[in-house]
Structure 1
């Protein structure tokens, strides 16, 4: 079994030189991690992934984990129906996974259930994926650029085909259009949207695909409706597929595609490049012409490797090969989303409206901010401030266009998924860390609107009650509202607004929002030690079960968790919570109980800071090192199930990256990193001197001492507490943790 796994994960090292050689793209492709092993360029709009989540029963069995597919690829599944060109990584609702290319041989078959194939000899590395399609003995190889993908299919001798399927995909939306332009080119669009079943977000993505060889024959197909009862005026679909050989007009429908047929010699390779755009077919063609003017697979692949090495080499670590793989794969996953949205000419779809904008900077999309404001954006701020700067500018531009900062933004559409006001912590925290080359005054006004508007507030729909009561009441709460959870997110946003106001010299605002942020005490129930739901009359929710929600069942007051998961979720005021819980000893006892009773959830965001809270208690910081190392060993690994669950657009991976370096940002808006035992003997961060004064920061594991807490020294001076501020850290120097 080990030999088989190694054969799957081994990658040709001919193109790899830097730290990209340690990345294993198969990590997270099982255990609902929702990553994919496909060809990915850093922060790219396009990506090419094997699509193996359709027709698992075609193998006469139901595939493992196939019940809920928010992912284009599941490692246990072995039936492939093509390679998709627009994909999400680590997302909990199905979307994208569209524009599938599939190579076949022999008699032309346009039924995806039938033309799918098992596959073998699977390998992946940054910017590259390959496998052998068993049914056809075709070798498939994939690579990509920012806005385009390149596939190379090596065929046996005989009749060969390349199919473009616009019906299959993860998206809940249907509808597509295509036109065969010539024997070498096809163009069209595919509808996307209804993410997490939100009916408001619908948008087309446009494409142009070009072939390295002219097809001997070509055509389009359409899955046909069959009228079962004309008088009743209803229809049902069967598997009747109508081909249109040589068709050169526009074809539209819910389930359509095109084919290109070739007479191939043995080992003949045909390449297909496909460019995408969210603005127009013309822009998709321009993206393709600019990023792939010719067909050069080796050059395109090497460019992707070079781009990954440029970013991954920002950190150098000394340790075991396994730890290097875990760490650099975590950085890799942290650098997929947000991704660029604009075309090579700067065009992008406006946020929340029809029309096209244009930007000289990179315009980003995929803001899963309920997840990523906690650690992914602080990680980018530390290691890649130039990327974070563009992401901040994009978020502010979204507010100017739509009136609101993003919450869970997708391809210029606001999906309104999850609760809280997470853009405020993301923007404020970044500004406080020293990234200030964005329009902070416009950002501040957008934050104030979210904090103050009572009615029709897109970011804080519960704001009216929150402003009147100091908390969101449990009255009239829906199954996915989470009154306590929502309140806690508002408190954190207000704290960040307070900190930002202070930095901007707005003293009155600073005090106002700090006072609001401390209203979490209104939800603290001394009898249970929990942050407990209250109604509008100020009465506690009764009956009350703090463990309800442990298995993601609806729990009044909490979203995606139970009371234990949210028990310490006031990261902006942990010392105040310690006092409420009865002091340091009681705090440590209850924190221990969270882990020991199975009420800590590594796979979800509200409690992922809890391992680092021991640092707030003198003499107990060694427990942070213990908890962090235990969680890494239990939930992360160099195998497909090597993430604790859904990566949430890189959040779980960002947690691992920080945890392995021995530093963790305790809260957005607070500049302290908790310090604890790193996983490496030595970590060297190469700081961006356009943003930070230091050149390098070295984090080194010191020799252990017979003490019960963590000792650290920075630039030869001992630290009184196991914390170091961001402002000190980016001065550069030498941090020793022992």
Structure 2
């Protein structure tokens, strides 16, 4: 209860009127959720977040060197070294978290280990964050636009400073450049790349920062690394920081920064705008000029709130405030990534090559598709099809530029993280749901290339074996390759490609890929009831432990999980899997055992559809409602640890949003939603008329006070539903879905 009260107090009571008032940005900032509470605009390139993962208050320890930190902010940490302007939400590897502004007072200190401060009085809401820096008694307030951040620092009387640190960050790349343009402006760049320690391209992000008043003193600094004096045979292990007062030339290095100093009166505010671009300094300046032509903190904040309300108000719910907070925060986290990449003039960095492209439509980036193809993109397709449409166009354009659809794309770089061919399910599923205003012919060509090219296949590197054997063999896999996991992802991709082929009238292709999707049966082992690794000779991997990998240790055949986590991962053919397991009774026992033995992992993707599989069993759909309610209660909450783990760019939040609505998409490429008891008394979805014929979909729960899920009946448009599924096309035609 204390945690709950604290988390509610942390949420700002600022100028919120619509459903953004229910969002708690602190949810997910603990328990490795990897979200941040900073100032965030919907699907924005820029955001401004407190950065508290360096040093941790121990001046002799830099925590980034000792911990796997994919987060700019951890709720338990209390030592802040600045506010970063390029941030990722809910990712599992370090990247971004760069361009840190830090206000200080008194004697100038340029060492982050020393100028960092504890902080208190945190508040956060959509588009706003504030805190008090205890060491300096400076109030820091943050807000942002699509491509810019705005910080307001309210100082005490005396000598005050704003530091820009280009050395700190989460990225594994180093290197930056800066130039002080005037006593109110600075420009430069910071290198990014090597996400998840993969050797993909590196890229600079450019910035321009402006101050609301001229500095009376300024300069740049460079950290001089530890060095060894060979002649004297001694070593200096202490970094030293060399200041360059009033330095106006370009300065480059791995650990550099700049300072602007002021004489401030009591409670005088200094504001700092910072615009970013992945194309050029000139474009960063243009972005800043277009989105913040003057200094107006209140206006920028109001615009951010209005943008959030416009999206969040598309769903109206009636129920308890605590439930509203969970739901609207889940929607909020689902609308951060993918985010735009293009500048105000349409420029963006080309995918997989040097050079600049230009688009009159939004160009998106941050495609964590192994995660998001399962539920986040279906959620966007249902509620925000206009956003999903631009995301489809962006993905197809990436294939035109690089030759391949994205897998885990980041700022125009393909990181090759995770397995499978996840863009194919995402695109095919969206098309089948009715989002068809993109170049589907080009998309289909790119999908077929991924499915057919045997060698040097960027999306399906194991495709030669897969085409020859019908599965990926375990023989040559590395510790995190996962031959079974990879095979299952390929089967799903082939299934969704088959469905798209059918919709496009390509009957021969449809039949071919449908057959390939059924090859999952080759990996089904009747003796264990598991989908089990095989070698090239068709022999089962022996010895075999289905629980190996439960704690994310390497497990032959599986990635990020064990055999139990992947046991039912054939979402495109659950009825076929039920048959293989010996019928409904055996399937029910196996499904229950997954939960009862602790082999269900709410924090990871392969098994997150399993609670909804009871709907395939006659008379057992009530178990879906019971499991979903149990999982929400156990893993989600209105507190910093209120996500089950890494949000995976919104995937865990999208699961919660669907789960609370009482509908869940069972598989990419299948239009069925599983139906179960919703969390609210009434939900109204306002559908986009440009894509869907229905005006609204109303979901009502008229049996909320019942003590048993077994008594639930379902009606749609006053007609009883015998099978606990409805298609996407049925729901978006509008109407009234009632649980009674």
CA distance in 2, matches of 1:458, 1:515: 23
Residues 524 and 452 from structure 1, CA distance in 2 versus in 1: closer, same or farther, beyond 3 angstroms? same
Task: Give the corresponding residue for 1:721.
Answer: 723
Task: Give the corresponding residue for 1:143.
Answer: 143
2:738 pairs with 1:736: yes
Residues 232 and 466 from structure 1, CA distance in 2 versus in 1: closer, same or farther, beyond 3 angstroms? farther
More displaced, 65-74 or 136-145? 65-74
Task: Give the corresponding residue for 1:504.
Answer: 504
* Equivalences, count: 738
Q: Secondary structure of 1:302's partner?
A: helix
Residues 363 and 591 from structure 1, CA distance in 2 versus in 1: closer, same or farther, beyond 3 angstroms? same
CA distance in 2, matches of 1:589, 1:362: 48
Q: Is the 8 A contact 2:79 2:119 kept in 1?
A: yes
CA distance in 1, matches of 2:8, 2:685: 32
**1:150-207 CA distance string (max 9 Å, x none):** 0000000000000000000000000000000000000000000000001123100000
**1:602-630 CA distance string (max 9 Å, x none):** 00000000000000011000000000000
Give runs of aligned pairs for residues 198-213 of structure 1, distance below 5 A. 198-213=198-213
Q: Is the 8 A contact 1:158 1:263 kept in 2?
A: yes
Residues 652 and 17 from structure 1, CA distance in 2 versus in 1: closer, same or farther, beyond 3 angstroms? same
Residues 532 and 236 from structure 1, CA distance in 2 versus in 1: closer, same or farther, beyond 3 angstroms? farther
Task: Give the corresponding residue for 1:117.
Answer: 117
Q: Secondary structure of 2:533's partner?
A: coil
Give runs of aligned pairs for residues 304-343 of structure 1, distance below 5 A. 304-343=304-343
Task: Give the corresponding residue for 2:92.
Answer: 92
Task: Give the corresponding residue for 1:711.
Answer: 713
Give runs of aligned pairs for residues 550-561 of structure 1, distance below 5 A. 550-561=550-561
Segments of structure 1 that go 5 or more residues without pairing to the other structure are: none
CA distance in 1, matches of 2:231, 2:721: 82
Q: Is the 8 A contact 2:316 2:684 kept in 1?
A: yes
Give runs of aligned pairs for residues 177-326 of structure 1, distance below 5 A. 177-230=177-230, 238-326=238-326
Deviation of 1:8 after TM superposition, in Å, equals 6.8
Q: Is the 8 A contact 2:149 2:274 kept in 1?
A: yes
CA distance in 2, matches of 1:290, 1:8: 35
Q: Is the 8 A contact 1:155 1:268 kept in 2?
A: yes
Q: Is the 8 A contact 2:494 2:517 kept in 1?
A: yes
Deviation of 1:237 after TM superposition, in Å, equals 6.0
Residues 710 and 119 from structure 1, CA distance in 2 versus in 1: closer, same or farther, beyond 3 angstroms? same
Deviation of 1:712 after TM superposition, in Å, equals 1.2
CA distance in 1, matches of 2:336, 2:357: 23
Residues 496 and 231 from structure 1, CA distance in 2 versus in 1: closer, same or farther, beyond 3 angstroms? farther
Residues 633 and 226 from structure 1, CA distance in 2 versus in 1: closer, same or farther, beyond 3 angstroms? closer
Segments of structure 2 that go 5 or more residues without pairing to the other structure are: none
CA distance in 2, matches of 1:144, 1:325: 22
Task: Give the corresponding residue for 1:517.
Answer: 517
Task: Give the corresponding residue for 1:126.
Answer: 126
CA distance in 1, matches of 2:30, 2:695: 39
Residues 248 and 529 from structure 1, CA distance in 2 versus in 1: closer, same or farther, beyond 3 angstroms? same
Q: Secondary structure of 1:708's partner?
A: helix
Q: Is the 8 A contact 1:155 1:267 kept in 2?
A: yes
Q: Is the 8 A contact 1:341 1:348 kept in 2?
A: yes
**1:34-63 CA distance string (max 9 Å, x none):** 000000000000000000000115278998
Task: Give the corresponding residue for 1:585.
Answer: 585
Q: Secondary structure of 2:477's partner?
A: coil
CA distance in 1, matches of 2:504, 2:235: 62
Deviation of 1:85 after TM superposition, in Å, equals 0.1
**1:439-489 CA distance string (max 9 Å, x none):** 000000000000000000000000000000000000011011000000000
Task: Give the corresponding residue for 1:170.
Answer: 170
Deviation of 1:227 after TM superposition, in Å, equals 3.1
Give runs of aligned pairs for residues 529-544 of structure 1, distance below 5 A. 529-544=529-544
CA distance in 2, matches of 1:492, 1:237: 53
Task: Give the corresponding residue for 2:547.
Answer: 547
CA distance in 2, matches of 1:586, 1:262: 73
Residues 110 and 8 from structure 1, CA distance in 2 versus in 1: closer, same or farther, beyond 3 angstroms? farther
Deviation of 1:710 after TM superposition, in Å, equals 4.4
CA distance in 2, matches of 1:352, 1:153: 40
Deviation of 1:507 after TM superposition, in Å, equals 0.3
Task: Give the corresponding residue for 1:45.
Answer: 45
Deviation of 1:707 after TM superposition, in Å, equals 7.6
Task: Give the corresponding residue for 2:409.
Answer: 409
**1:508-550 CA distance string (max 9 Å, x none):** 0000000000000000000000000000000000000000000
Structure-1-length-normalised TM-score? 0.98
CA distance in 1, matches of 2:196, 2:3: 39
**1:377-428 CA distance string (max 9 Å, x none):** 0000000000000000000000000000000000000000000000000000
Deviation of 1:12 after TM superposition, in Å, equals 3.8
**1:597-654 CA distance string (max 9 Å, x none):** 0000000000000000000011000000000000000000000000000000000000
Q: Is the 8 A contact 2:7 2:639 kept in 1?
A: no
Deviation of 1:212 after TM superposition, in Å, equals 0.1
Q: Is the 8 A contact 1:57 1:63 kept in 2?
A: no
Q: Is the 8 A contact 2:374 2:667 kept in 1?
A: yes
More displaced, 234-243 or 173-182? 234-243
CA distance in 2, matches of 1:424, 1:7: 40
More displaced, 223-232 or 191-200? 223-232
Cα RMSD between the aligned structures? Answer: 1.8
Deviation of 1:66 after TM superposition, in Å, equals 7.5
Q: Secondary structure of 1:713's partner?
A: strand
Task: Give the corresponding residue for 2:566.
Answer: 566
Residues 589 and 289 from structure 1, CA distance in 2 versus in 1: closer, same or farther, beyond 3 angstroms? same
